[in-house]
Amino acid sequence: MMRRAGDHAIVLGAGMSGLLAARVLTDFYDRVTLVERDALGPGEGEAREDGPGEEGPGERAPRKGVPQGFHAHALLPRGLQIMDELFPGLTEEMIADGAVPYEPAHVRMIMGGFEFARAPAGEVGVSATRPFLEEHVLRRVRALDRVAIEDGAQVTGVLMEEDRVVGASVAGPGGERDLPADLVVDAMGRGGRTPAWLEAMGFDRPQEDTIKVEVAYATWYLRFPEGALDGERMVLVGASPGTLKGAALCMVEGDRWLVTLGGSAGVRPPADRDGFLAWVDEVLPSDVAAAVRHAEPLGEIGAARIPTSVRRRYERLDRFPEGLLVTGDAICHFNPIYGQGMSVGALDAVAMRECLREGTGSLAARYFAAVARALDPAWRLSTGADLALREAEEQKTVASRLLNAYLGRMRRAAARDWRVAEAFGRVSGLVDRPSALVRPAVVWRTLRG
């Protein structure tokens, strides 16, 4: 226990952000209750309603509340670092249970048509499905003495007393009841209800920054022939203005490969076998495409569409009720192609911890300001790349032209110089801030390249 902030905190939603927030809150509150509408029983996992229910023998399907869990879910290096800090030994535990460890040498990355050089060594990442990652974090949260989980329970509202949130109302199998609390955290994902609650309580709704992305995914789980891809464990091909088509292939637990095709700016990958394979031939290097063609399918192809990235600017509100915070996708949901969502949820958890260490006075204002600072680089990276893909030439500003020209040059340099590729990876992995891309050594290598 670091500094006691109160008796009881409630986290609404047990997605990745809710689980990480619950872990942090155990350092400050005597009791933490996680409320989740899905059933989270061990070994559970309902079949998807809108697509494939089977992904291979003995594997878990995504829960109903997190349908995106069917698709590739990269955990960026910064997200994994934070999770390991909150749950020491988590990476080793996941690897022991079948998650696939990878180093730079295992990753083939092609951006803007350039295949990046690979660093000789680097930190170990883990590749696994989203249900696997979440299950491992949930297991750790369940083991915390201070945490109680109420699953199968729908959050219906928050309780107010004057200008303060003092709990939440929850409808479960036994009917609706009130849960009093000193702090309530909305971690209900992109459908988070805080804007509507604020309005109902006489506060302003947060301003929303919305970027149209029109991203579409198609995902197929496959078993590759033995020895396919010569030891590579991940292949990432980024969309470029010319094609707007990309792909991510990840080796995941259960001796499977997860192949996700991603289309940007309205381009949609086909969800039928022939169309899927035609896209694979077009976008992937020929040896990778051949491995996909010769793979054994493990179920049907599933599809998803993401129309917008949305950032709710809570930090700009003049008034916000005490006793309430928001985290994860409920604050900001990104174009998923950049794999930032879970890692930003982890950054929010760190911001919550840092703010609670300073006490509970003006907690919401301090927390939202800290979150805004923490997620700003991720937001700028993803929206900058989206605008570069979509924007008509004539709409580009001088600054965005210069930046795009520099990044283009960097990608070219990264094909020959692994140090440039590494700098790129550390920034897109949220380990370094974007200013690291213009450090003198990186600029020199980029221009020389």
Ligand X SMILES: Cc1cc2nc3c(=O)[nH]c(=O)nc-3n(C[C@H](O)[C@H](O)[C@H](O)COP(=O)(O)OP(=O)(O)OC[C@H]3O[C@@H](n4cnc5c(N)ncnc54)[C@H](O)[C@@H]3O)c2cc1C
Give buried/exposed letters for 424-437 (b at 16+ CB in 10 A, else e): bbbbbbbbbebeeb
The count of other CB atoms within 10 Å of the CB of residue 68 is: 18
Among 246, 299, 345, 425, binds ligand X (CB under 6 A): 345
Query: Distance between CA 232 and CA 402 in Å, rounded?
Result: 34
Closest distance between ligand X and the C-beta of residue 116, in Å? Answer: 18
In the window 397-436, what residues touch ligand X (CB under 6 A)?
none
Answer for the pair 304, 70: CB distance below 8 angstroms, yes or no. yes
Neighbours of 443 (CB within 10 A): 15
Minimum Å distance from CB 93 to ligand X? Answer: 19
Does 71 help bind ligand X (rule: CB under 6 A)? yes
Among 6, 154, 266, 278, the residue binding ligand X under the rule CB under 6 A is 154
Helix (H) or strand (E) holding 441: helix 440-448
Q: Does 262 bind ligand X (CB under 6 A)?
A: no
Q: How far is the CB of 20 from ligand X (least distance, A)?
A: 8
The answer to whether 381 and 338 are in contact (CB under 8 A) is yes
40 alpha-carbon distance from chain centroid: 20
Read off the tokens for 446. Answer: 């980029």
Q: Does 15 bind ligand X (CB under 6 A)?
A: yes
On whether the CB atoms of residues 307 and 355 are closer than 8 A, the answer is no
Identify which range of 182-190, 264-272, 283-291, 370-378 contacts ligand X by CB under 6 A. Answer: 182-190
Position 86 contacts ligand X (CB under 6 A): no
Is 17 one of the binding residues for ligand X (CB under 6 A)? yes
DSSP single-letter state for residue 322: B
Number of H helices and number of E strands within the chain? Answer: 12, 19
Comparison of 122 and 339: residue with beta carbon closer to ligand X: 339
Q: Element (H or E) spanning 320, and its range?
A: none
Q: Which stretch binds ligand X (CB under 6 A): 183-191, 382-390, 404-412, 417-425?
A: 183-191
Q: Establish if 78 lies at the interface with ligand X (CB under 6 A).
A: no
Residue list 196-235, contact with ligand X (CB under 6 A): 217
Binding map of ligand X across residues 304-343, x = CB under 6 A, - = no contact: x-x---------------------xx------x--xxxxx
Number of chain residues interacting with ligand X (CB under 6 A): 36
Contact, 217 vs 303, CB < 8 A? Answer: yes
**Applying CB under 6 A, which residues contact ligand X?**
12-18, 35-38, 65-66, 68, 71-74, 154-155, 187-189, 191, 217, 304, 306, 328-329, 336, 339-343, 345
